[in-house]
A and B are shown apart, each in its own frame.
Chain A
Amino acid sequence: MDIDKENKMTSLDQTIAANTEALYARDESKSPTPAPAPAMPTPSIAVTVGATPEAEEAVCCEPIITSKGFDFYYGKKAGVRDITMDIYPCAVTAIIGPSGCGKSTFLRSINRMNDLIPNTRAAGRLAVNGQNVYEKQVNLVNLRQQVGMVFQRPNPFPKSIFDNIAYGPRLQGIRKRSRLDEIVEQCLHDAALWKEVKDELKKSALALSGGQQQRLCIARALATKPKVLLMDEPCSALDPVATGKVEELIRKLRTNYTIVIVTHNMQQAARVSDRTAFFCLGELIEYGLTRDVFTNPTNEQTEAYITGRFG
């Protein structure tokens, strides 16, 4: 129980820390000496990718996230080593692998969530929309607005449902009530939660069920209009019904968002993703179309892992 509470606080703290950091950074940028904040380049998506693996295969479009020889170190220990992979827009990419293989490290590197951990270092290139996220001039606020994150445990703020979603837009300076109403409704619609909560938007978010809380967190992440959504085991604390709803939501969202999901549930990766990457001991072992990886993987280690022979 205590451990649970601690985990919940840790992940809640992380979101609050990230958002507070965003808040302060924004305030700083309004101050007379703003920090240099080059805008992220606009996405250069050549072709819209279909939501089906069949459509995926035929598509040749610009990747939205490119990783080339990317390393991430915790002190002297490498969390991930030499990761080279392209993540494509408007598709779901799943990262699977045994515990400690670096999948969360890689995911959290994409929006530099790992910066919150002291004594860490990145090397190589990890770019979102062509911009290396580890360059010094990168504005973390802009980056995290573009690359939203959903955590393992639902972590709504201890505020009303409305305020949870309006939090990000308010940070962006939107004050007009009618505009906020519009955003909240749209995000709740997009997160498939509107019908369930439309009459009780003032209710505390903490009164929602676990599954509803997680969809609220997704709605909250959508409110800043991200291009990419990172999901770190988003269903591991949910029951099968809530998991089903979140998976359905992931499938729906992939028409407009790029989703990268880390999951321990292999069937979930198989069900929701277009591409799957298998990590082991900090290295990328295999990356390909999900239907190929789960029916006929090319690497023996991948096969051993997905069939439960090791890991």
Chain B
Amino acid sequence: MKVRIKFSKEGPVKFIGHLDIMRYFQKAIRRADIDIAYSMGFNPHQIMSFASPLSVGHESSGEYFDIELNSMTDTEDIKNRLNEVMTDGIKIIKVAALDEGEGNAMASVAAADYLVRFSDKVTLPDDFKEKLTDYYEQEHIYVTKKTKKSEKEIDLKEGIYKLQVREDGVFMQLDAGSGSNLKPGFVLEHFFETIGVELPEFPFRIRRLETYRKTKKGKLMPLIS
């Protein structure tokens, strides 16, 4: 049977990279004595699937991974046992059993919410809110995306599902599907470029708020809903 685990990552632990977070959870699952299933072979590994890698330096209150279990008590017990062995800054928020046949966390990801705050070194123009709103309300936002091999023109607008200037920063809901994933920093950098504002190094404080899957009817739902 499979369970999906939702956790948050806040404070100094944001500097731990994705691969190390995976290793961290492998060890945590052993410390918590959770009856996880292992792959076959000479070097068995835990059957675990992370939804979406979080960049180093980003915080999150909506991270997910799935694990396969041999036996299970109940989801509340798994949550409590994991929370007992967590380090400061990483907290298990929810654990849910997955239905048979449900897609794994990584394949399910369709979108994510972000809150972006600015570092003290960023000077926002007085009409920042209007400018960003105008930017978002364009019908198309074409940009040239450079990859290692090619350049292609994409329409950012297709991947921005929501964008709002809030008291505490800029809220965005972005496409997070494999292949079409949009990074919040990329969108904002493009915006500042179009209005001609130069940014300092590391201008954004980014927090992922939630990760979504798409239902059969095309509706976005949190990975655990």
**A and B bound?**
no
Q: Which residues of B contact A (CB under 8 A)?
A: none
Q: Which residues of A contact B (CB under 8 A)?
A: none
